[in-house]
Amino acid sequence: MSSDLTVLNVMGPYREPQEPSFSYDYSVERSDWATPQGVRIKVSIKHELDYLKNTILEFSGGSVGQQMRCNQLLVRAIADQKLAIVDADGQLAERLDIMIEPFVGDEVGRLFGLLDHWMKAEKETLRQLIKDQIGI
């Protein structure tokens, strides 16, 4: 399905103060919207980032700085994919600011299967990205 959603700007990552997650703020628009809207995408450290990093990629090693940069790359990749998933799910069809929680639990947990499928399909691409950009 083709989407006419355009990402104008992305800011982050931010560390959510009251929960174990990172977030990115997206400014998005569609051709029929009068103004851009905000989308905050939260990425759970334990259930999404660590799952990708430790279970799917089986990643280890690197200096503290390399680990931090790796986390930044992976959180952004997860957030970008979550934006695509919720758009395909119809959650961005209306013009309003929205917050996308981690794909954990009953309400949005059903979307984790789509994220998991993407993680497994992009495993080698993500490994190569880490190797090319971070050197580990």
Residues 19-54 have pLDDT tens digits of 999 999 999 999 888 899 999 999 999 999 999 999
Which pTM does this prediction carry?
0.92
* Rounded mean pLDDT, 64-91: 94
Question: Average per-residue pLDDT in the chain?
Answer: 91
* Rounded mean pLDDT, 86-92: 92
pLDDT tops 70 at residue 1:
no
Look at residue 94 in the predicted model and tell me its pLDDT: 85
Dist. CA 91–CA 23, nearest whole Å: 18
In this prediction, residue 57 has a pLDDT band, given cuts at 50, 70 and 90, of very high
- What percentage of the chain exceeds 90 in pLDDT? 75
pLDDT tops 60 at residue 2:
no
